[in-house]
Structure 1
Amino acid sequence: MNATVIAVALSLVSAAAYASAAVAQSRLAARTERNAGVLRLLGRRAWWSAVALNAGGALLHVAALKYGPLTLVQPLGALTLVAAVPLGARAAGRRVTRTEWRGTILTLLGLGALLMTAGGTAPHETLSLPEALAVGAGTMAVVAGLSRPGARPGLRHAAASGITSGVASALTQTLTVSVTDHTGPLFSWRLVVVALLVSAFAMSGLLLSQTAYRGGLGAPLAVVTLANPVAAAVIGLALLGERLQGGTASLFPALLGTVASVRGVILLSRAQAQTSAVAGPAGDEPKPGAGSPSRVVIASRRPMDQPMLWPELDRAPVGGP
């Protein structure tokens, strides 16, 4: 079987596993206090379910990197967002909206254009020890900058998660090619350092995405989806000798594919953000006056089947019987 076909098939299953993990992490984040630490997460079965799904997706991703280059495998990671749309809708008890379908179609069309320009040969280049250390140091500096206190921490943490995951994929490819192609000794300082960097970046990406999903699933997952292949492609093109098929002529369809994918991801993130803001736990339409939570609480008592909108007001004593 063609190596490209195997890489694409493995990437599709990997994307489905990652999408299931993202939905599980988002639901866990919605039920977890913002100041909860890592130890609190370790006691949740939902956390370990998400970890298992991420681990399964990672193993399939590693196998895909054996048969396909970074410029081919990483763009397919955007299908994680596409798969998360119906999974998230089903978990919320609602239907997929028209805007979400539009975003899905645009993302798929953009991915198709990008795959036409991606390299189709199995990878052979690997990172040297100085290159791996430089990539690791640069990634740590970027993540430290994105993790600083400030506005929009969720999106910045999502970008940091995507970058660390993309770098981990690039480093994983070095491990996979070195071990399976016997390009050097199985036990060397280079492979030990690369393995440690892969473990650190993979775990960092998982924890950063968990904090990013506290603000919802759509926008953070969209940022992760975009940042991951960009980081991996930069390493692949700059250090691993990967090239786009067709030379400079392939830049035009690649640009069109990028624009379509970005537009599709934006539509998906907006639709999911709007749905999270206006829909009830079962996907019901917003009731009249729901846009003004304080007016609802003050005008009447909260029914037993509605969520507590303003806890501090609900706890205040209310006159009357």
Structure 2
Amino acid sequence: MIGLDERADAAVLFALAAAVFIAIGDVIHQRQAQDVTDESVGHLALFKQLLRNRRWWLGSVVAAGGFAFQAAALGLGSVLLVQAVLVTSLLFALPINARVSHRPVTRWQWTWAALLAAAVVVIVTVGNPTAGHSRASLEVWTEVLLVLGPALVLCVIGAGIWKGPASAVLLAVVSGALWGVFAVLTKGVVDQLDDGALALLRTPELYAWAAVGVAGTAWQQSSFRAGTITASLPTMTVAEPVVASALGVVVLGETLRPGEAGWLTLAVAVAVMVVATAALARGEAAATDQPLTQH
């Protein structure tokens, strides 16, 4: 039998591997979403064009490897733990994107990115998360849909009204939230793997998991198309663990136990997370105006 500590350590290692693969996939996807066409296209038309792009599929294969590692991590640890580690994908994505786009990562970008990652990790680690269930009832998921659905629809509408960095951020919220739901559904799907293929095919989470994955990918590409990676990826990086962690508590019954002193630390970490995300998103406009460095 594997002890709880060993399972948590293995979950962290798998989540770190997932963060690296997902970062590489995100950078490839962002560049292809920007380069696939010079015309102004809608969300569905963009996704259709990307489906015919070989480099986009390369990014999808790499990202799929990240999702496999994420699933392995969720099979061993709580959603709260795994999603906290996955936020480090931003720290991998920034230098990779700088390399392929021939733009340096500025000191302030590194500072805010590090603060962002540290804040989200603190929120979870100080919270002392405990594992809950792997699955939830249809009634619970219906309540989640009634709350989360309208909020995401408003974000999509807002993204159509405001262009540029604001649009990228709003679409990133939609994508990040969907990936947060995807993570929680993944835990339910992984839980059914030991019962065989037939049991898995009878699991409602499997089909919701596939649909949410496609939707998350589509909105992610639209967000990447709307602005540079410094606007979209930080927002996704925050939205996914926040939504996943909230659902881990509400849907799966995971709990936080920070203690009396820990609540103040959590409040500070949340404030830092919000400020760091806003700072990175504001830098998007300046990044788009900088000429590419020729090598």
Q: Per the shorter chain, which TM-score range?
A: 0.7 to 0.9
Determine if the alignment matches structure 1 residue 186 to structure 2 residue 190: no
- Which of 168, 184, 187 aligns to 1:173? It is 187
Asked if the contact 1:66/1:122 (under 8 Å) is kept, the reply is no
TM-score by length of 1: 0.78
State the match for 1:308 in structure 2. none
State the match for 1:100 in structure 2. 109
Runs of at least 4 residues off by over 6 Å: none
RMSD: 2.5
Determine if the alignment matches structure 1 residue 16 to structure 2 residue 20: yes
Alignment of 1:1-321 (within 5 A): 2-33=6-37, 34-35=40-41, 36-119=45-128, 121-136=130-145, 138-148=147-157, 149-151=160-162, 152-180=166-194, 186=199, 189=202, 191=203, 193-214=204-225, 215-271=227-283, 273-278=285-290, 280-282=291-293
Q: What SS class does the counterpart of residue 147 from structure 1 fall into?
A: helix
Unaligned stretches of 5+ residues in structure 1: 285-321
Q: Deviations over 1:199-239 (max 9, x none)?
A: 11111111101011112111111111111111111111112
What is the alpha-carbon distance in structure 1 between the residues aligned to residue 128 and residue 75 of structure 2? 13
Shift of residue 118 of structure 1?
4.1
Give the number of aligned pairs: 278
Deviates more, 1:170-179 or 1:205-214: 170-179
Asked if the contact 1:99/1:271 (under 8 Å) is kept, the reply is no
Q: What SS class does the counterpart of residue 96 from structure 1 fall into?
A: coil
- Paired AA for residue 24 in structure 2: S
Quickly say closer, same or farther: Cα 1:19–1:108, change in 2 above 3 A.
same
Shift of residue 254 of structure 1?
1.9
Higher helix share: 2
Shift of residue 188 of structure 1?
7.3
- Paired AA for residue 156 in structure 1: L
What is the alpha-carbon distance in structure 2 between the residues aligned to residue 112 and residue 75 of structure 1? 5
Asked if the contact 1:62/1:172 (under 8 Å) is kept, the reply is yes
Quickly say closer, same or farther: Cα 1:76–1:226, change in 2 above 3 A.
same
Unaligned stretches of 5+ residues in structure 2: none
What is the alpha-carbon distance in structure 2 between the residues aligned to residue 147 and residue 44 of structure 1? 25
What is the alpha-carbon distance in structure 2 between the residues aligned to residue 104 and residue 38 of structure 1? 29
What is the alpha-carbon distance in structure 1 between the residues aligned to residue 35 and residue 123 of structure 2? 37
Shift of residue 39 of structure 1?
2.7
Asked if the contact 1:69/1:119 (under 8 Å) is kept, the reply is no
- Paired AA for residue 19 in structure 1: A
Asked if the contact 2:130/2:256 (under 8 Å) is kept, the reply is no
Q: What SS class does the counterpart of residue 265 from structure 1 fall into?
A: helix
- Paired AA for residue 70 in structure 1: V
Identity %: 26
TM-score by length of 2: 0.84
- Paired AA for residue 174 in structure 1: G
What is the alpha-carbon distance in structure 1 between the residues aligned to residue 70 and residue 149 of structure 2? 23
What is the alpha-carbon distance in structure 1 between the residues aligned to residue 62 and residue 213 of structure 2? 13
**Larger CA Rg, structure 1 vs 2:** 1
Asked if the contact 1:114/1:257 (under 8 Å) is kept, the reply is yes
Q: What SS class does the counterpart of residue 161 from structure 2 fall into?
A: coil
Q: Deviations over 1:58-103 (max 9, x none)?
A: 1111111111111111122321221111111111223321112212
Quickly say closer, same or farther: Cα 1:222–1:240, change in 2 above 3 A.
same
